[in-house]
């Protein structure tokens, strides 16, 4: 069960971006309804959801009602509870403002937590070897994927000190190299060859974990703003 607000926001943002259909269950009602999460409303710390289907669900829904919500993202089940904060009944299709969940149940970690990292770099170092500079491809609270110019001194099952330069500040942590995918030879020698490196974080400090979580949430929020219309006003 996840309780970190930043990680929860990242997962909710992934659901919205993927346009996943969501099953909704009301207390005291055995019917299963469907909806879709439309966006995160950062001003109110809330979710905007589409009208329940079948329409009978919308007719029964009231402000303050509790909902159980469930969906699948990339084949992984995600479940959480929320409360209806407001209902917009003015448009042809209704919309709801829901509380952001305080906790979220999911069945897999790594695949759902990865966030693409544009313009982020990392420096890996050990006392015995020269520093290795890398481009961060994606990052999560469990690890990161790196693009490293070849040749380099990295090897699987080694541990390196790693400094990741995020826009909201640097993160220092030990990483273990778990995977090296060698780049194929390119047709044009002028194009640098990069190996893909999978690395797992060691014990992250609470400060470092929060910083990564904030970066992931900010990145997903920017992605949503670029793709989704602004929220409708709520009565």
Mean predicted confidence (pLDDT) in 65-90: 89
Domain-located, residue 198 = yes
As a whole number of angstroms, the distance between CA 106 and CA 78 comes to 4
DSSP conformation class of 157? T
**Residue pair 164/136 in contact by the 8 Å Cβ criterion:** yes
Residues 13 and 102 in one domain: yes
CATH value at residue 108: 2.30.110.10
As a whole number of angstroms, the distance between CA 11 and CA 151 comes to 36
CATH value at residue 174: 2.40.10.220
Domain-located, residue 55 = yes
Residues 17 and 78 in one domain: yes
Domain-located, residue 214 = no
Residues 162 and 63 in one domain: no
Q: How many residues does the chain have?
A: 235
Residues 57 and 20 in one domain: yes
Residues 140 and 198 in one domain: yes
For the chain, the domain total comes to 2
Domain-located, residue 220 = no
Residues 103 and 185 in one domain: no
Give the tens place of pLDDT for each residue, 89-141: 776 778 999 999 999 887 654 444 578 888 999 999 998 888 999 999 999 88
pLDDT band at 233 (very low <50, low <70, confident <90, very high): very low
Give the tens place of pLDDT for each residue, 147-187: 999 889 999 999 999 999 999 899 999 999 999 988 765 54
Q: Comparing 109 with 222, which gets the higher pLDDT?
A: 222
* The model's pTM: 0.53
Residues 50 and 67 in one domain: yes
Domain-located, residue 28 = yes
Q: Of 93, 112, 131, which marks where a domain is finished?
A: 112
- Phi first, then psi, for residue 59 (nearest 5°) are -65, -30
C-alpha distances out from residue 70 to 15, 105, 107, 205, 208, Å: 11, 9, 12, 32, 30
Q: What percent of the chain has pLDDT over 90?
A: 49
Which domain, by its residues, includes 119?
115-204
Residues 122 and 147 in one domain: yes
Pick left, alpha or beta for residue 64 (phi over 0 → left; psi -120 to 50 → alpha; otherwise beta): left
Domain-located, residue 26 = yes
Domain-located, residue 176 = yes
Own/partner pairs for 186-193, CB < 8 Å, 24+ apart? Answer: 192/149, 193/149, 193/150
């Amino acid at each position: 069960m996840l309780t970190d607000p930043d990680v929860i926001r990242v997962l909710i943002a992934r659901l919205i971006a993927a346009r996943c259909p969501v099953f909704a269950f009301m207390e005291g009602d055995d019917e299963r309804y469907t909806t879709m999460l439309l966006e995160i409303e950062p001003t109110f710390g809330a979710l905007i959801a589409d009208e329940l289907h079948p329409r009978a669900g919308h007719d029964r829904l009231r402000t303050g009602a509790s909902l159980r919500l469930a969906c699948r993202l990339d084949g992984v089940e995600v479940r959480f509870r929320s409360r209806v904060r407001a209902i917009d009944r003015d448009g042809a299709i209704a919309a709801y403002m829901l509380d952001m969940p305080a906790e979220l149940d999911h069945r897999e970690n790594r695949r759902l937590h990865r966030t693409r990292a544009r313009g982020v770099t990392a420096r890996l170092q050990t006392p015995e070897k020269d520093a290795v500079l890398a481009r961060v491809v994606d990052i999560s609270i469990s690890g990161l994927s790196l693009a490293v110019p070849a040749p380099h001194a990295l090897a699987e099952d080694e541990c390196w000190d790693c400094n990741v330069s995020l826009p909201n500040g640097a993160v220092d942590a030990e990483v273990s190299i778990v995977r090296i995918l060698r780049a194929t030879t390119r047709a044009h020698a002028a194009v640098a060859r990069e190996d893909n490196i999978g690395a797992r974080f060691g014990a992250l400090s609470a400060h470092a974990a929060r910083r990564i979580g904030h970066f992931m949430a900010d990145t997903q929020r920017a992605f949503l703003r670029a793709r989704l219309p602004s929220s409708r006003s709520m009565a």
